[in-house]
Chain A
Amino acid sequence: MAGRRLRILTVCGVGQGSSLILRMYVEDVLKELGLNAEVQVADVATAKSTPADLILVSPHLAGNLSGTEAPVCPIKNFTSKAEIKEALQDFMGRNGG
């Protein structure tokens, strides 16, 4: 994905509540890590057809997203910057970031 902005999708069941909260914390962590990425929200139904490089979602909904091209990373605590940071760093490590 060199040369292109990273696209992260935060997903919840409704796409208008908890996914927005997760997006806010993901944006905070991206800033702390100095990463430039676009963070979008989606509900589980539209997530599959939304282009993304990485999908962050509650463990309970991860199963609904099988078959997506982007890796799906479960996040247990949506306000834990440590957990989000670990997920992002793990992803960047695996993708040559």
Chain B
Amino acid sequence: MRNQPVVPPEYVQLDVPAGDWREAIRRAAAPLVTGGAVTPSYVAAMERVMEEMGPYFVIVPGVALAHARPEEGALQPALALSRLSEPVNFGHEDNDPVWLVMVLAGSSDESHLGLLQQVARFLGDTAALERLRSAETPEEAAALANRSM
């Protein structure tokens, strides 16, 4: 793993308004499209995952880890974070409502395993997640995420 931040502040958005899960995913993924980490078709693929398989990717209470197959348009391993201004229901009986949407872009080989390990650690760090709720700037939120990871 190179010594670079897992989540650059440019990929972090705070208090993003979203009326439903689709808008939440699209908005959370927007910086990755702009930054060249994924193509727009990757975003559409994540929406299809939700439509076809449901909100299984809401893997811890309040947090969605949206992702699609790397070959659907992931150009480089990357992670984006969006804290929603109002929590949104994804239809997960146990882990709704979602207040944090993470968008993961992997790669088809195993080069994103290090990134995933760090995401796993962050998602298991309830204290860091709690502090993220009150972060005031994207830089602060990114630092929290990167410190935990």
Contacts and interface: CB of A to CB of B under 8 A. Distances in A.
Contact of B60 (A24, A57, A77): A77
A64 B124 CA distance: 27
Given A16-B106, A61-B53, A77 B94 contact: yes
A17 interface: yes
B93 interface: yes
Interface of B: 49, 52-57, 59-61, 65, 67-70, 92-95, 104, 106, 113, 116-117, 119-120, 123-124
Interface of A: 12-14, 16-18, 20-22, 24-25, 44, 57-61, 64, 76-80
B53 A60 contact: yes
A16 B77 CA distance: 12
A14 B67 contact: yes
Nearest to B69: A14
Given A58-B59, A60-B56, A78 B123 contact: yes
Given A12-B57, A76-B95, A17 B67 contact: yes
B12 to A, nearest CB: 19
A18 B95 contact: no
Nearest to B90: A60
